[in-house]
Amino acid sequence: MMGGIRAELCVDADGSCPVASAAANADASTLSVSRSVAPADEGTVTEEFMLDDAAAEAADADERLSPVFTYGSKTVYRFSRTRGGGCPCECIEQFDCPVVDVHTRDGMLYLVFHAADMSELQGVITTLRERYPTVDIQRLLRSEGERADHDLVFVDRGRLTDRQREVLETAHSMGYFERPKGANAGDVAADLDISRSTFTEHLAAAQTKLLDAILDA
Protein backbone atom coordinates (compact mmCIF):
# COMPACT_ATOMS: atom_id res chain seq x y z
CA MET A 1 0.00 0.00 0.00
CA MET A 2 1.39 3.38 -1.00
CA GLY A 3 0.89 6.24 1.43
CA GLY A 4 -0.96 9.29 0.20
CA ILE A 5 -0.61 12.81 1.54
CA ARG A 6 -3.20 14.94 3.33
CA ALA A 7 -2.45 18.58 2.65
CA GLU A 8 -3.75 21.78 4.21
CA LEU A 9 -2.92 24.91 2.24
CA CYS A 10 -3.57 28.57 2.96
CA VAL A 11 -4.40 30.56 -0.19
CA ASP A 12 -4.98 34.26 -0.75
CA ALA A 13 -7.91 34.02 -3.18
CA ASP A 14 -7.37 37.67 -4.16
CA GLY A 15 -11.10 38.52 -4.21
CA SER A 16 -12.02 35.71 -6.60
CA CYS A 17 -13.84 33.60 -4.00
CA PRO A 18 -17.20 34.77 -2.55
CA VAL A 19 -16.61 32.66 0.56
CA ALA A 20 -13.32 34.37 1.42
CA SER A 21 -14.63 37.79 0.39
CA ALA A 22 -17.72 37.55 2.59
CA ALA A 23 -15.71 36.45 5.59
CA ALA A 24 -13.06 39.12 5.04
CA ASN A 25 -15.59 41.93 4.65
CA ALA A 26 -17.31 40.83 7.84
CA ASP A 27 -14.07 40.25 9.75
CA ALA A 28 -15.29 36.72 10.48
CA SER A 29 -14.46 33.09 9.85
CA THR A 30 -16.62 30.64 7.93
CA LEU A 31 -17.41 27.11 8.92
CA SER A 32 -16.96 24.28 6.44
CA VAL A 33 -18.18 24.72 2.88
CA SER A 34 -20.32 22.17 1.05
CA ARG A 35 -20.28 21.97 -2.74
CA SER A 36 -22.23 20.13 -5.42
CA VAL A 37 -22.79 20.21 -9.18
CA ALA A 38 -26.19 21.72 -10.00
CA PRO A 39 -28.22 18.96 -11.75
CA ALA A 40 -29.93 21.43 -14.12
CA ASP A 41 -26.66 22.83 -15.41
CA GLU A 42 -23.52 20.71 -15.58
CA GLY A 43 -21.46 23.86 -16.02
CA THR A 44 -22.46 25.28 -12.65
CA VAL A 45 -21.32 24.45 -9.14
CA THR A 46 -23.41 25.39 -6.11
CA GLU A 47 -21.70 26.06 -2.79
CA GLU A 48 -22.93 26.76 0.72
CA PHE A 49 -21.14 28.10 3.78
CA MET A 50 -22.03 29.36 7.24
CA LEU A 51 -21.43 32.71 8.95
CA ASP A 52 -22.26 34.12 12.37
CA ASP A 53 -25.13 36.61 12.50
CA ALA A 54 -22.58 39.32 13.29
CA ALA A 55 -21.38 38.95 9.72
CA ALA A 56 -24.84 38.87 8.15
CA GLU A 57 -24.90 42.52 7.05
CA ALA A 58 -21.71 42.16 5.01
CA ALA A 59 -22.87 38.86 3.51
CA ASP A 60 -26.33 40.19 2.63
CA ALA A 61 -24.71 43.06 0.73
CA ASP A 62 -23.04 40.59 -1.65
CA GLU A 63 -25.46 39.97 -4.53
CA ARG A 64 -23.79 36.63 -5.25
CA LEU A 65 -24.98 35.22 -1.90
CA SER A 66 -28.44 34.05 -0.81
CA PRO A 67 -29.36 33.11 2.78
CA VAL A 68 -31.03 29.67 2.82
CA PHE A 69 -31.13 28.45 6.45
CA THR A 70 -30.49 29.63 9.99
CA TYR A 71 -28.97 27.63 12.84
CA GLY A 72 -29.52 29.80 15.92
CA SER A 73 -26.88 32.52 15.60
CA LYS A 74 -25.49 31.22 12.31
CA THR A 75 -26.82 31.54 8.77
CA VAL A 76 -26.13 29.33 5.75
CA TYR A 77 -25.48 31.20 2.49
CA ARG A 78 -25.62 29.73 -1.00
CA PHE A 79 -24.05 30.86 -4.25
CA SER A 80 -23.38 29.39 -7.69
CA ARG A 81 -20.31 29.73 -9.83
CA THR A 82 -19.44 28.69 -13.36
CA ARG A 83 -17.18 25.70 -13.65
CA GLY A 84 -13.85 26.39 -15.29
CA GLY A 85 -13.42 29.78 -13.66
CA GLY A 86 -10.11 28.74 -12.12
CA CYS A 87 -10.99 29.30 -8.45
CA PRO A 88 -8.63 27.72 -5.87
CA CYS A 89 -10.86 24.66 -5.44
CA GLU A 90 -10.93 24.02 -9.18
CA CYS A 91 -7.16 24.37 -9.40
CA ILE A 92 -6.94 21.43 -7.00
CA GLU A 93 -9.79 19.42 -8.51
CA GLN A 94 -8.20 19.42 -11.97
CA PHE A 95 -5.69 16.96 -10.51
CA ASP A 96 -8.61 14.67 -9.52
CA CYS A 97 -8.09 15.66 -5.88
CA PRO A 98 -11.47 16.44 -4.25
CA VAL A 99 -11.32 19.28 -1.73
CA VAL A 100 -12.56 17.75 1.51
CA ASP A 101 -12.67 20.87 3.70
CA VAL A 102 -12.75 24.61 3.09
CA HIS A 103 -12.80 27.36 5.71
CA THR A 104 -11.54 30.91 6.01
CA ARG A 105 -9.60 32.95 8.53
CA ASP A 106 -8.49 36.57 8.17
CA GLY A 107 -9.69 36.61 4.57
CA MET A 108 -7.55 33.62 3.58
CA LEU A 109 -8.86 30.30 2.28
CA TYR A 110 -7.76 27.11 4.05
CA LEU A 111 -8.15 24.09 1.78
CA VAL A 112 -7.72 20.43 2.71
CA PHE A 113 -7.31 17.68 0.12
CA HIS A 114 -5.58 14.33 -0.41
CA ALA A 115 -2.83 13.83 -2.98
CA ALA A 116 -1.82 10.39 -4.17
CA ASP A 117 1.90 11.18 -4.03
CA MET A 118 4.46 13.97 -3.81
CA SER A 119 4.41 14.59 -7.57
CA GLU A 120 0.67 15.24 -7.54
CA LEU A 121 1.02 17.52 -4.52
CA GLN A 122 3.77 19.54 -6.21
CA GLY A 123 1.57 19.92 -9.30
CA VAL A 124 -1.27 21.35 -7.21
CA ILE A 125 0.98 23.77 -5.35
CA THR A 126 2.70 24.94 -8.54
CA THR A 127 -0.64 25.58 -10.26
CA LEU A 128 -1.98 27.56 -7.32
CA ARG A 129 1.19 29.65 -7.04
CA GLU A 130 0.94 30.57 -10.72
CA ARG A 131 -2.49 32.10 -10.10
CA TYR A 132 -2.55 33.45 -6.56
CA PRO A 133 -0.22 35.82 -4.70
CA THR A 134 0.10 33.68 -1.57
CA VAL A 135 0.06 29.90 -1.18
CA ASP A 136 1.37 28.65 2.16
CA ILE A 137 1.71 25.01 3.17
CA GLN A 138 0.17 24.72 6.62
CA ARG A 139 0.33 21.00 7.26
CA LEU A 140 1.24 17.80 5.39
CA LEU A 141 0.50 14.35 6.74
CA ARG A 142 1.49 11.05 5.16
CA SER A 143 -0.91 8.15 5.56
CA GLU A 144 0.30 4.98 7.22
CA GLY A 145 1.43 2.41 4.72
CA GLU A 146 4.54 0.51 3.83
CA ARG A 147 7.28 2.60 5.36
CA ALA A 148 10.65 2.86 3.63
CA ASP A 149 13.96 4.07 4.98
CA HIS A 150 13.60 7.25 2.95
CA ASP A 151 10.06 7.94 4.17
CA LEU A 152 9.39 11.64 4.70
CA VAL A 153 8.26 13.20 7.95
CA PHE A 154 6.06 16.27 7.52
CA VAL A 155 6.06 18.95 10.16
CA ASP A 156 3.26 21.34 11.04
CA ARG A 157 4.69 24.80 10.27
CA GLY A 158 2.29 26.20 12.85
CA ARG A 159 4.68 25.01 15.55
CA LEU A 160 7.00 27.88 14.61
CA THR A 161 6.44 31.56 15.31
CA ASP A 162 6.57 33.92 12.34
CA ARG A 163 9.99 35.15 13.47
CA GLN A 164 11.38 31.63 13.87
CA ARG A 165 10.16 30.73 10.39
CA GLU A 166 11.73 33.88 8.95
CA VAL A 167 15.05 33.08 10.62
CA LEU A 168 15.03 29.50 9.30
CA GLU A 169 14.04 30.51 5.77
CA THR A 170 16.65 33.27 5.61
CA ALA A 171 19.40 31.04 6.99
CA HIS A 172 18.49 28.33 4.49
CA SER A 173 18.35 30.67 1.50
CA MET A 174 21.75 32.18 2.40
CA GLY A 175 23.39 28.75 2.66
CA TYR A 176 23.92 28.74 6.42
CA PHE A 177 23.19 24.99 6.60
CA GLU A 178 25.39 24.07 3.64
CA ARG A 179 28.84 22.52 3.88
CA PRO A 180 30.91 24.55 3.35
CA LYS A 181 28.71 27.33 4.68
CA GLY A 182 27.43 29.92 2.24
CA ALA A 183 26.94 32.35 5.14
CA ASN A 184 27.84 32.43 8.82
CA ALA A 185 25.66 33.45 11.77
CA GLY A 186 26.82 37.05 11.57
CA ASP A 187 25.91 37.28 7.88
CA VAL A 188 22.39 35.96 8.44
CA ALA A 189 21.86 38.15 11.51
CA ALA A 190 22.93 41.21 9.54
CA ASP A 191 20.52 40.36 6.72
CA LEU A 192 17.71 40.03 9.28
CA ASP A 193 18.83 43.23 11.02
CA ILE A 194 19.11 41.50 14.40
CA SER A 195 22.03 40.73 16.69
CA ARG A 196 23.97 37.50 16.33
CA SER A 197 22.82 36.33 19.77
CA THR A 198 19.16 36.96 18.85
CA PHE A 199 19.64 35.00 15.64
CA THR A 200 21.11 32.01 17.46
CA GLU A 201 18.32 32.09 20.06
CA HIS A 202 15.59 32.04 17.39
CA LEU A 203 17.42 29.38 15.40
CA ALA A 204 17.90 27.13 18.44
CA ALA A 205 14.23 27.45 19.42
CA ALA A 206 13.06 26.65 15.88
CA GLN A 207 15.39 23.67 15.50
CA THR A 208 14.27 22.28 18.87
CA LYS A 209 10.63 22.43 17.78
CA LEU A 210 11.40 20.75 14.48
CA LEU A 211 13.46 18.01 16.11
CA ASP A 212 10.72 17.37 18.68
CA ALA A 213 8.18 16.99 15.87
CA ILE A 214 10.42 14.64 13.86
CA LEU A 215 11.42 12.45 16.79
CA ASP A 216 7.83 12.21 18.00
CA ALA A 217 6.57 11.19 14.54
Structure confidence by residue, pLDDT tens digits, 166-190: 998 898 889 888 777 788 999 999 9
**pLDDT at 193 (0 to 100):** 94
* pLDDT band of 36, cuts 50, 70, 90: low
Distance between start and end Cα atoms, the chain: 19
Mean of the per-residue pLDDT values of the chain: 77
* pLDDT band of 30, cuts 50, 70, 90: low
For the entire predicted model, the pTM comes to 0.58
**pLDDT at 1 (0 to 100):** 43
Question: How many other CB atoms sit within 10 Å of the CB of residue 175?
Answer: 15
The full set of domains in the chain, from first to last, is 5-142 (no CATH), 157-216 (1.10.10)
Task: Classify residue 122 as exposed, middle or buried by CB count within 10 Å of its CB (0-12, 13-18, 19+).
Answer: exposed
The answer to which of 3-12, 39-48, 165-174, 178-187 has the lowest mean pLDDT is: 39-48
Contact 47, 34 (CB under 8 A): yes
| Strands across the sheet containing 44-52 | 34-37, 44-52, 74-82, 66-71
Region 197-203 average pLDDT: 91
Pairwise CA distance, residues 53 & 57, whole Å: 8
**pLDDT at 149 (0 to 100):** 45
